[in-house]
Structure 1
Amino acid sequence: MTSPHPRPSPDTARLVEENLMTLSQLKDMVASLSPDIYQQAFGEYGRHTLGKHVRHIIDHYDALLVGLERGGEVIDYEQRRRDEALEQWPQQAASHLAGIESRLSVLGGEPSSAALTLAYPLDEEGLSLASSLDRELAFLTSHSIHHMAIIALLAEQSGIHLPETFGVHPSTLRHWQRAPEEQASFSRRSA
């Protein structure tokens, strides 16, 4: 007898885990910051702060989760909340990140085969693009890591020491883990 509900994809669980690892790293960093450092402006026009990049990451996760909570009809990353408190107050942002982690954890048990629609604002009409939960989770990992790499550069300018792995994509971390094995294998073949 077959189940009326599709089984969750093992890929979805793995993608959720990558996102959770990324968000945990970000949450830990944010929770350790003072508001002064979190709000410190960088760049010629003062547009870059650690907080703005963190808020931007949060906005994207919220957009996905809100879209899913509405039945997955439309995921729209352009219609973000842009809550300025999340870019001003690190403890509030860390708390919000913890909430996102809780909401994401549930997705590991969800079927990933349901079709999603991604709203993309190419022009006045925009496009509706076919997507899936797995695709959006993969996007969010890459998007978050991209901004975390910028956060790492800004943090370094403020004298904040972050782990070497902060803002490094999971695929790069896997490559780094294999690199010693590959080098040893190459050395054995060359000998």
Structure 2
Amino acid sequence: MKTIVMKSWRLLALLVSVVAVTACEEDDDDVPVARMTTAEFVQQAAASDVFEIEAGKLATANSTTPEVVTFGENLIDDHTETSQTLMTLAHQNSVNVPLPSRQTLPQDKQAILTRLESKAGGDFDLDFVAVQLEAHQQAITLFEKASNELEHQAFRDFAKNTLPTLQAHLEMARKLRTQLSEG
């Protein structure tokens, strides 16, 4: 009799666990997943481009290291191109977002540019490279998310096609960090 009671309690505990797990799984289906909208992506990607272009200009003006100057030139060229492509795509698909400028960048990005403006030479180089490492990691995260989540295929393709450039910039920044720390 005692064995039957123990088995009954174990069976009851198992059933309660199964019901609890099943109930939790069903509740998860009701939670809406926040997806990035195309307009949000366009705005964030355009702001990222403006930030990179402005930072690249500072590199060409404030650095004395040829590799940092070249990296700055690459940032200007590549992010100008992606910005133009993005704005053309947005216009063609009636995605109306205000064009960002340095003055409309988020305050944290404006503060970074202001800080970089006040530096030159080796001090500039070290800070600039650290900024580029963080900015490109953030951009890669944004573009990966967009390439997977956006409903509009043209913008998913744009994000996917831009990722190799962003990854190349991140790799350049890593190499520069190593070079500057060894030099």
Normalised by the length of structure 2, the TM-score is 0.38
Normalised by the length of structure 1, the TM-score is 0.37
Structure with bigger helix share is 2
Structure with bigger strand share is 1
